[in-house]
């Protein structure tokens, strides 16, 4: 069995503050350790479940967050910034499933820890074909384009609820219960590392109930920016890109990957 693991940082056990997820901040090094240990627990569980190939993508910020000398030797790791069409190198339909580890809820989710949609500073919200979408749905669509289902999502309770609502059948594990943007009831990281492994094994056993996340075209992405000047800067002289309000830009396209890529151009 082959699995692709994408790891973000906001939903990792023990993390709730901006100072933990930003390079150079006071608690960032400690958070890197939490990130690495939880990732290792996931890889170990996949090995014990019978995985023969595991690819792990560092999906937070510039993709340089793991403590690399402490990573589990059973996986290979994708590091560094990559353009969206190649966000998951090597992904194809031969993979049995994808796992989203340490993810967070979309921007504007009430009570969620560190909620955002790709950018803390630029994007107020995203809608695809009239429905709100965050990073969980975005990543699932990229995997779905390669006919790979997202079988497992971990993060706070708001992220897990979003995953179940957006993707339908998928397995989830709550690392914490969010009470606000920087507050919640967090499980001890050692407990998370112990429990998440069993949750991953359950997802592997039930993987055939999970289906690739796909949407029929044509496609329309509505982007609400945090300021009018950002919307103005991103609108070009194209018939399928236009503004519908001071902070809002709309893109239309028949090709989903091209549309997702253009969202951040």
| Residue-level pLDDT at 236 | 64
pTM: 0.97
Which pLDDT tens digit goes with each residue over 47-84?
Answer: 999 999 999 999 999 999 999 999 999 999 999 999 99
| Residue-level pLDDT at 179 | 97
Nearest to 77 by CA among 61, 107, 53, 96: 53
Fold of 2-121+133-209: Rossmann fold (3.40.50)
User: Low-confidence residues of the chain, pLDDT below 50?
Assistant: none
**Separation CA 40–CA 119 (nearest Å):** 27
**Cα–Cα distances in angstroms (integers) from residue 98 to residues 6, 139, 210, in the given order:** 8, 10, 10
Burial 126-143 (b: 16+ CB within 10 A, else e): bebeeebbbbbbbbbbbb
Domain with CATH 3.40.50.10780 in the chain: 2-121+133-209
Nearest to 142 by CA among 258, 222, 62: 258
């Amino acid at each position: 069995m082959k699995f692709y693991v994408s790891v973000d940082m906001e939903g990792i056990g023990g993390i709730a503050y901006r100072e933990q997820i930003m390079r150079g901040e006071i608690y960032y090094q400690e958070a890197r350790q939490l990130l690495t240990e939880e990732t290792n627990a996931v890889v170990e569980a996949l090995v014990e479940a019978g995985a023969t190939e595991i690819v792990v993508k560092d999906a937070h910020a510039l993709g340089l967050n793991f403590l690399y000398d402490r990573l589990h030797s059973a996986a290979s790791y994708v590091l560094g910034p990559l353009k969206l069409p190649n966000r998951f190198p090597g992904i194809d339909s031969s993979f049995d499933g994808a796992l989203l580890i340490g993810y967070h809820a979309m921007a504007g989710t009430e009570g969620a820890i560190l909620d955002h949609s790709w950018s803390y500073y630029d994007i107020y919200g995203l809608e695809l074909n009239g429905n709100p979408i965050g990073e969980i749905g975005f990543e699932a669509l990229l995997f779905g384009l390669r006919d790979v289902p997202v079988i497992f999502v971990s993060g706070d309770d708001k992220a897990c609820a979003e995953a179940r609502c957006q993707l339908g059948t998928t397995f989830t594990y709550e690392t914490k219960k969010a009470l606000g943007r920087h507050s919640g009831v967090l499980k001890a990281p050692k407990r998370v590392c112990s429990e998440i492994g069993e949750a991953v094994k359950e997802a592997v056993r039930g993987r055939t109930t999970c289906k690739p996340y796909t949407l029929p075209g044509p496609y329309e992405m509505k982007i609400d920016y945090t300021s009018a000047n950002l919307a103005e800067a991103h609108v070009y002289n194209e018939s399928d890109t236009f503004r519908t309000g001071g902070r809002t830009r709309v893109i239309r396209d028949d090709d989903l990957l091209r549309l997702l890529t253009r969202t951040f151009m």
